[in-house]
Amino acid sequence: MISMKKMLMNPSRRFSLRSSRTFSMQQAEAPVMGGGKIGVRGGLSLYKRLSALGFNGGTVADTMNNYVNDGNFFAKFDLDSCVKELRKYGQYPLALEVMEWMNKSGNGFAPTDTAKYLDLTAKVKGISAAEYYFNGLLPSEIHKCAYGALLNCFCQGGLEDKAHALFVEMDKMGIVSTIAFNNLMTLYMKIHQPEKVPALIQELKNRNMPLDMFSYSVWMGSYSSLNDIKAVERVFEEVNLIYGKQNYDWTIISNLASAYVNVGLDEKAELTLKELEKKVLNVKRPDRRPFHYLLNLYAATSNLAEVHRIWKGLKSAFKVTTNVSTLHMLKALAKLDDVIGLKSIFEEWESTCPSYDERLAKTAIVLYLKHDMTEEAGRVFEHVVKRCEGPYYRYWEMLMSYYLEKHEIDTALECLEAAISEGKNNEWHPTPEDVNRFMEYFKKDNDANGAEMFCKILRKLQPLDHGTYTSLLEIYAGASQIVR
C-alpha cells in the first residue's frame, strides 16, 4: 500500500489505489472495559472472558462452557452483573447473547429480564424484532416491565403513533408510571416537538404523580429548545424549592448551564458551571460524566483555559483516563481550534491506549486537515489502517473533501476511487453536494477530460442522474469536445 503520509505530503504524486493492502489488523489483548466489582463467585473473571469476545471473536455459549470446564461456577447474579456491564459499555450483541444463553439454559426470565431482553433486541435486531418478541409472550410472561420496555423502544425509535397507542393501552390497564410519561417527553424532544412536553408535565401534576429528576431535566430541556430562558429558570427554582440546593441531581444544574449557553448568556453559564463544580468534583466517589459536561460547556463558552483546567482535574481524579473522556477533551479542543493542545493529548493517548478508538482518530484528522497539517493527518491514517479493521471510506471521504477545497482535483479523484473501492456492494456514495462540487470545478476549468474521468468513476456505482449528465454536456460544449 502506498504510504498515506507520502500521499498527503505530496499531493501531486500519482499512484494506484488498487494496490493490495499490506497492513493487517493487530490483535491487541482486549481490555476489561468495566473494571468494576462483578459477582461474588468469580463473576469478574467471567466478565473478562465475555468482554474479550468483542475483540477476539467466539461465542458466548462456548465461553460459558469453557468457563465451567475450567472448574469455575457462577450464579444468576453473576450473569446479571455481566449483562449490566456489557450494556454499560455498549456491547449490546454480547449482552443479548448472554441473555439468550440464560434463557435456554433453564435459568428463566424474571419480569425485569424480559424488559432487558426487549431493550437489547431492539438495539441489536431492530424495533420490529422487539415488537415481535413482545407479541409472542404468554399472558403470564407479560409484566408491566415489558410494556414499559416496549414503550421505551417506540419512543427511542421516534415512532409517535405506536408509542401513543401503547401508552393509551397501558393507561387503561392502570400501569402508567412517571417513567412512561418521561418516555413520551423524550419522544417529543427526539421528533423536535418540545412544545408538547409542558402539557405532559401538567398531566403528571394533575394526577398527583411525582416528577423525578429526569422529568425536570427534560422539562428544562424543552424550554431551552424553545429559547425560553425564564421558563428554564422557573423550573430550576421549583427543583430547589422541592429538593433543596444540596439534594438535587447534578444534571439539573448542568441543564441550566446548557440553557444559558444556548441563548448566549456565557457569563451566567460560567457562574452556573462553578456551582456545578462545587457539587460534583469534591466528592468521595467522583463520576466521569460531570467532567465531560464541564469540558463541553466550557468549550461552548470559548473558555480554553477552563477546558484545560477541567481536563487536569479529570486526570487527577481517576487512575485511568478512558477513551470516552479523551474523546470529549479532543472534541472540546477541536471546537476551540486548539490544534497544538489536541495534538499533544492525542499523541499521548495514541502511545498508551490499549484499544484504538477510531472516533479519536477522526477528530484529530479533521482538525489537522483544517490547519493543512497533512503530514500529521497522514500519520494518523496509517495508524488507523494498522490497528483497525476498516473499511476506511470515511477517511478517504475526508481527504477527498480536503483536496476538493484545495482545488487538487486529481488527488481528490484518487481519494474518491479509494473510498468507492473500500465500500462493498456500493456501501459508500459521494453526496450530491460533492458531485456538484466536482462538476463545478470541471466546468470552471473547461476540463472535459477530468469530467469524463469523474463520470466514469460514478458509473461504477450507478447510472448518472439527469443533473450530472446535463453538467457533463455543458462542460463538453465549453471545451468544444464531442460527446462520447
**N-term to C-term CA, the chain:** 34
Return d(Cα 4, Cα 253) in angstroms, integer. 46
Instruction: State the amino acid at position 100 in one-letter form.
Output: E
Contact 173, 139 (CB under 8 A): no
Which of 124, 25, 26, 134 is CA-nearest to residue 83?
Answer: 124
DSSP type of residue 21: P
**Ramachandran angles phi, psi of 293, nearest 5°:** -60, -40
In this structure, of 29-33, 119-123, 319-323, 347-351, the range with the lowest mean pLDDT score is 29-33
CATH number of 177-280: 1.25.40
Q: State the cell numbers at 224.
A: 431551552
Instruction: Note if the bond before 93 is cis, omega within 30 degrees.
Output: no
Per-residue pLDDT tens digits for 133-190 = 999 998 888 889 999 999 999 999 999 999 999 999 999 999 999 999 999 999 999 9
CA angle in degrees (0–180, nearest 5) for 400-406-412? 25
Per-residue pLDDT tens digits for 323-337 = 999 999 999 999 999
Query: HSE on the CB side for 397, CA within 13 Å?
Result: 16
Q: What is the pLDDT of residue 355?
A: 85
Calculate what percentage of the chain has a pLDDT beyond 90: 55
Indicate the domain borders of the chain.
177-280
In this structure, of 4-8, 43-47, 292-296, the range with the lowest mean pLDDT score is 4-8
DSSP conformation letters of 83-97: HHHHHHTT-HHHHHH
In whole angstroms, what separates CA 151 from the centre of its chain? 22
CB-count exposure of residue 475 (10 Å: 0-12, 13-18, 19+)? buried
CA angle in degrees (0–180, nearest 5) for 275-276-282? 100
Per-residue pLDDT tens digits for 249-291 = 899 999 999 999 999 999 999 999 999 998 887 777 888 999 9
